[in-house]
Amino acid sequence: MVTSRDVARLAGVSQMTVSRVLQGSNKVAPETRDRVLAAMKEAGYRPHAAARTMRTRRTSTVGVVVADITNPFYPQLLEAVGQALEEAGQRMVLWNAPDAGGSTALSALDEGIVDGLIFTTITEGSEQLGQALRRGDPIVLLHRGLDSLDCDQVTTDNLAGGRAVAEYLVAAGHTRIGFLRGPEQASTARHRERGFRDRLAELGRPLAEDLTAQGAFAHDVAWSAMRDLLSREDPPTAVFCANDLTALGAVDGAVSLGRRVPEDVWVIGYDDIAMASWDSYDITTVRQPIADMARAAVRLLQERLEDRSLPPRKQLFPSELIIRGSTAHTTMP
Amino acid sequence: MVTSRDVARLAGVSQMTVSRVLQGSNKVAPETRDRVLAAMKEAGYRPHAAARTMRTRRTSTVGVVVADITNPFYPQLLEAVGQALEEAGQRMVLWNAPDAGGSTALSALDEGIVDGLIFTTITEGSEQLGQALRRGDPIVLLHRGLDSLDCDQVTTDNLAGGRAVAEYLVAAGHTRIGFLRGPEQASTARHRERGFRDRLAELGRPLAEDLTAQGAFAHDVAWSAMRDLLSREDPPTAVFCANDLTALGAVDGAVSLGRRVPEDVWVIGYDDIAMASWDSYDITTVRQPIADMARAAVRLLQERLEDRSLPPRKQLFPSELIIRGSTAHTTMP
């Protein structure tokens, strides 16, 4: 198959110039543009996306890939992304992809059905994704990042968030501290855990492995895990949960055993989804600035649509500990 | 613009035959097929969708349109639709369309980007939707229906659900019965309210207008409305909420005032979303069989993809009252 590299060689220009011509950029001199177009014709270069972009310039549609829409964090994030796109004059189309790799979405980008993609639940880079990024395709990773990939990424400082929770619990005097982990393949889960563990160790209270369990970012798994922890002879007096959905499950697990939060056990979540602040839960959590992150991802995507040669940018938002009723008890349990 | 009607007239066949040729149906005699294809060529008939269908037969992608993904009912419904589609060998792509009319989705159908559409939050028929249905485009309404439209629809018996709640509350001896309405433009809200009101009147306990308020299918609106109702001199002893999200807001509104559910006030929701059964809420509700409805919608869509001449079908699922802790108190408040 003929590639833009072949076209560039034939026209005696850089691949970037070919890319700029495809985008209709006004940074290319008219005679260069004509030479590139002639080379495309000669080489028989006809990518769908390119053909479409040249015809209509843009589809004004951005694809968003998500893995688990039943975790209330994602509908909130998607709503924010949809609003940010609308402000930018674009529409959103969603792929709920269990593989999180979004191969269908990548194909849609390739065929010019969408202008760009935002991945919200990336867990590992696929060969298809790597290829798309090497071509300079407009793709942004939002919420979950990939250290191994050099591309536009918008995340929050999950390490700092985990550390803040460790400091808060130790300062409150807790010694039996529990932890409900998230799935290892999610960067958010890994970073929150590392920050929490490292800071606890630094403060001389290393996490006791027998007080940790898998929460799996799922209400039912967290519910069972919390009941297990609370049924021990010497149960934890505080449990940090790797996200808010896990914390909701942990609170419900405690409630199901007749335990009171925070009187019998403190519970802390992560994300600050709307539900965390609802009166029945009132959960202390670490806030991610969802609307700001969504706007940043959309902005990075716009900029890359304008100029695919921009260097990869990684934008890190601060996290903030929000104290609520699930811990705000004057005395430790 | 040339339509399939023009082609039909020119070829001396019915529009249905033209449609069958476009779908590559084997119900059309070869000579008829040739005559239709010749007529298309002569008339210059070139719809995108038709061209694409003839080339690739199917995209194996179905579009789903939803208006409010932050209501947890919809992520659950979408997850079920995605699974049903996967079992049928198809992929799902989502439009989160605030207008609920899904004009972008209809355009995607027209351009052959998706094989068919499922609308989950329809509120009124647009001219664009009417045209698509008259052409026999594969479109199914799921969850919310439209009485005025003659097309494939999958709903639950919201009238019967509303009636069941009325009977339950009257049988328990409640006389001060409150109601938090849903948005008037949603068929689900209208039917639940009509069933509830009519049955209460039949039982000699007509709904007191001063004990009704708008819940708007939103947690914050329901929260405020519930606080208003409970702050009256003679507050309701039971409140029926037009959906579960409204019931969660009502419970939290009561909790915020220090009222206990069900000791001080009973709360009933509608839908049976996962969260309704979580220990912190434990809400009595009317169950919609989400997975069955999703599978039915996908099946109706498959059948229409095979044969666009099928008459419109309306499938109605039964609803079921699920008693939980938000009402299951031995004595009425």
Domain of A42, in residue numbers: 4-56
Query: What is the chain A residue with the closest CA to B78?
Result: A69
| CB-CB under 8 Å, A92 with B255 | no
> Does residue A262 have a cis bond before it (omega within 30 degrees)?
yes
Q: What is the mean pLDDT of residues B312-320?
A: 97
Assess whether the previous peptide bond of B262 is cis (omega < 30° from 0): yes
CB contact under 8 A, A279 and B255: yes
- d(C-alpha B142, C-alpha B120), whole Å: 5
Shortest CA distance from A60: residue in chain B: B104
CA-based torsion, A93, A96, A100, A103: positive or negative:
negative
Q: What is the Rg, in whole angstroms, of the alpha carbon atoms belonging to chain B? A: 24
Residues B304-323 have a mean pLDDT of 94
Are A96 and B104 within 8 A, CB to CB? no
Q: CB-hemisphere CA count at 13 Å for B221?
A: 15
B76 touches chain A (CB under 8 A): yes
Interface test with B, best of A55, A96, A226, A267 (most B CBs within 10 A): A96
Which residues contact residue A278 at a Cβ distance below 8 angstroms, ignoring those fewer than 6 apart? Answer: B219, B248, B252
Do both B108 and B23 map to the same domain?
no
Given a cut of 80, whether residue A106 has pLDDT beyond it is yes
CATH number for position A209: 3.40.50.2300
CB B204 within 8 A of CB B232: no
Q: How far is CA B51 from CA B21, B43, B47, B56, in A?
A: 11, 15, 6, 9
Domain membership of residue B56 (yes or no) is no
Amino acid letter, residue B210: D
Whether chain B has a CB inside 8 Å of the CB on A72: the answer is: yes
Residue B52 pLDDT exceeds 50? no
Q: Which of B32, B11, B33, B31 is CA-nearest to residue B22?
A: B33
The DSSP bridge pattern shows strands A320-322 and A285-287 to be: antiparallel
Q: Which of B93, B95, B99, B103 best tests the A interface by mutation, with the highest count of A CBs <10 A?
A: B93
Label residue B14 by pLDDT band (50, 70, 90). confident
Could you tell me if residue B34 is left (phi over 0), alpha (psi between -120 and 50 degrees) or otherwise beta? Answer: alpha
Q: How many CB atoms lie within 10 A of CB A272?
A: 24
Task: Compute CA distances B155 → B100, B314, B315, whole Å.
Answer: 17, 8, 6
Cβ–Cβ contact B52 with A under 8 A:
no
Neighbour-count burial of A303, counting CB atoms closer than 10 A to its CB (0-12 exposed, 13-18 middle, 19+ buried): middle
Last residue of a domain, one of A266, A288, A310: A288
Q: Which residues of A touch B72 (CB under 8 A)?
A: 70, 72, 75
> A255 and B79 in contact by Cβ < 8 A?
no
Q: What's the rounded mean pLDDT across residues A190-209?
A: 97
Q: Is B14 on the interface with A (CB under 8 A)?
A: no
Residues B50, B202: Cα–Cα separation, whole Å: 53
A94/B93 CB distance under 8 A: yes
Nearest to A91 among B104, B219, B278 (CB): B104
Q: How far is residue B163's CA from residue B181's CA, in Å, rounded to a whole number?
A: 15
The verdict on A143 and A183 lying in the same domain is no
Q: Does B278 reach chain A within 8 Å, measured CB to CB?
A: yes
- The first and second tokens of residue B213, run together, are 């308020």
Euclidean distance between CA atoms B112 and A265, whole angstroms: 55
Residue B53 domain-assigned (yes or no)? no
- Interface check B91 vs A, CB under 8 A: yes
The pLDDT of residue A333 is: 63
What was the pLDDT predicted at B16?
79
Q: How confident is residue B50, by pLDDT bands cut at 50, 70 and 90?
A: very low
Contact B139, B151 (CB under 8 A): yes
Of B177, B286, B305, B303, the C-alpha closest to B242 is: B286
> Are the beta carbons of B69 and A69 separated by less than 8 Å?
yes
Q: What tens digit of pLDDT does each residue of A168-178 get? A: 999 999 999 99
The answer on A87 and A14 residing in a single domain is: no
Cβ separation of A255 and B279 shorter than 8 Å? yes
Tell me what the mean pLDDT of segment A212-232 comes to. Answer: 97
**What is the tens place of the pLDDT at every residue in B66-108?**
988 999 999 999 999 999 999 998 889 999 876 656 888 998 8
Q: Is residue A95 domain-shared with residue A217, that is, in the same domain? A: no
Considering the domain architecture, whether residues A137 and A67 belong to the same structural domain is answered as: yes
- What does the pLDDT read at residue A110? 87
Chains A and B form CB pairs within 8 A to the count of 80
Tell me which of A103 and B5 has the higher pLDDT.
A103
Q: What is the CATH number of the domain that holds A35?
A: 1.10.260.40
| Cross-strand partners of A284 | A268
Say which amino acid occupies B275: M
Q: Are residues B70 and B100 in the same domain?
A: yes
Across A26-40, B17-31, B42-56, least confident range:
B42-56
Q: Which of A74, A94, A255, A282 to mutate to test the interface with B (most CBs of B within 10 A)?
A: A94
Average confidence score pLDDT of chain B: 90
CA atoms within 13 A on the CB side of A324: 24
Question: How does residue A207 score in pLDDT terms, banded at 50, 70 and 90?
Answer: very high
Is B93 an interface residue toward A (CB < 8 Å)?
Answer: yes
Is there a single domain that holds both residue A84 and residue A37?
A: no
Asked if residue A119 is part of any domain, the answer here is: yes
pLDDT over 70 (residue B241): yes
Choose the closest CB to A96 out of B94, B104, B219: B94
pLDDT in tens, A224-272: 999 999 999 999 999 999 999 999 999 999 999 999 999 999 999 999 9
Q: What is the pLDDT of residue B181?
A: 98
What is residue B256's predicted lDDT score, i.e. its pLDDT?
Answer: 98
**Token pair of A121 as six digits:** 């639940």
**Is A327 within a domain?**
no
> What pLDDT does residue B46 have?
57
Q: How far is B15 from chain A (nearest CA, A)?
A: 30
Rounded to the nearest integer, the mean pLDDT of chain A is 90
Q: Measured between CB atoms, which of B76, B91, B280 is closest to A255?
A: B280
* Residues ≥6 apart with Cβ < 8 Å to B42: B10
* More confident site: B25 or B292: B292
Provide the β-strand partners of residue B212.
B179
Using the Cβ of A219 and the Cβ atoms of chain B, whether some distance falls under 8 Å is answered with: yes
Q: Is B259 exposed, middle or buried (0-12, 13-18, 19+ CB in 10 A)?
A: middle
Distance of CA B189 to the CA centre of its chain: 11
Are B144 and B192 found together in one domain? no
Rounded Cα distance, B2 and B6, in Å: 6
Do B78 and B293 contact (CB within 8 A), yes or no?
no
Domain contains B265: yes
Residues with Cβ < 8 Å from A203, sequence gap 6 or more? A166, A167, A170
Tell me, yes or no, whether B252 and B147 share the same domain. no
Q: Do A272 and A260 share a structural domain?
A: yes
pLDDT digits (tens, 9 = 90+) for B164-203: 999 999 999 999 999 999 999 999 999 999 999 999 999 9
- Contact A72/B69, CB-based, under 8 Å? no
Share of chain A above pLDDT 70, in %: 92
A27 domain residue, yes or no: yes
Cβ neighbours for A273, distance < 8 A, ≥ 6 positions apart: A72, A73, A76, A244, A245
- Minimal CA separation from B70 to chain A, in Å: 5
ipTM score: 0.82
pLDDT tens for A70-96 read 999 999 999 999 999 999 988 899 998
For A27-70, write each residue's pLDDT tens digit. 788 888 888 888 887 777 755 444 444 444 478 899 999 988 99
Query: Which one of B70, B95, B251 has the shortest CB-CB distance to A76?
Result: B70
Structure token pair of residue A142:
């939002």
Q: Which residues of A touch B104 (CB under 8 A)?
A: 61, 91, 93
pLDDT at A32: 86
CB A73 within 8 A of CB A271: yes
B78 and B138 part of one domain: yes
Number of domains observed in the structure of chain B: 3
**B281 interfacial to chain A (CB closer than 8 Å):** yes
Tell me what pLDDT residue B99 has: 65
Q: For residue B51, name the pLDDT band (cuts at 50, 70, 90).
A: very low
User: Using H for helix, E for strand and C for coil, what is the string for chain A?
Assistant: CCCHHHHHHHHCCCHHHHHHHHHCCCCCCHHHHHHHHHHHHHHCCCCHHHHHHHHHCCCCEEEEEECCCCCCHHHHHHHHHHHHHHHCCCEEEEEECCCCCCHHHHHHHHCCCCCEEEECCCCCCCHHHHHHHHCCCCEEEECCCCCCCCCEEEEECHHHHHHHHHHHHHHCCCCCEEEEECCCCCHHHHHHHHHHHHHHHHCCCCCCHHHEEECCCCHHHHHHHHHHHHCCCCCCCEEEECCHHHHHHHHHHHHHCCCCCCCCCEEECCECCHHHHCCCCCCEEEECCHHHHHHHHHHHHHHHHHCCCCCCCEEEECCEEECCCCCCCCCCC
Tally of CB atoms within 10 A around A208: 15
Q: Which of residues 164-203 of A touch B (CB under 8 A)?
A: none
Tell me, what's the pLDDT at B54? 44
Residue A328 lies in a domain: no
Only one residue has tokens 């969260």, namely B275
Task: Flag whether A314 is in a domain.
Answer: yes
A27 and A110 housed in the same domain: no
What are the chain B neighbours of A79 within 8 Å (beta carbons)?
69-70, 96
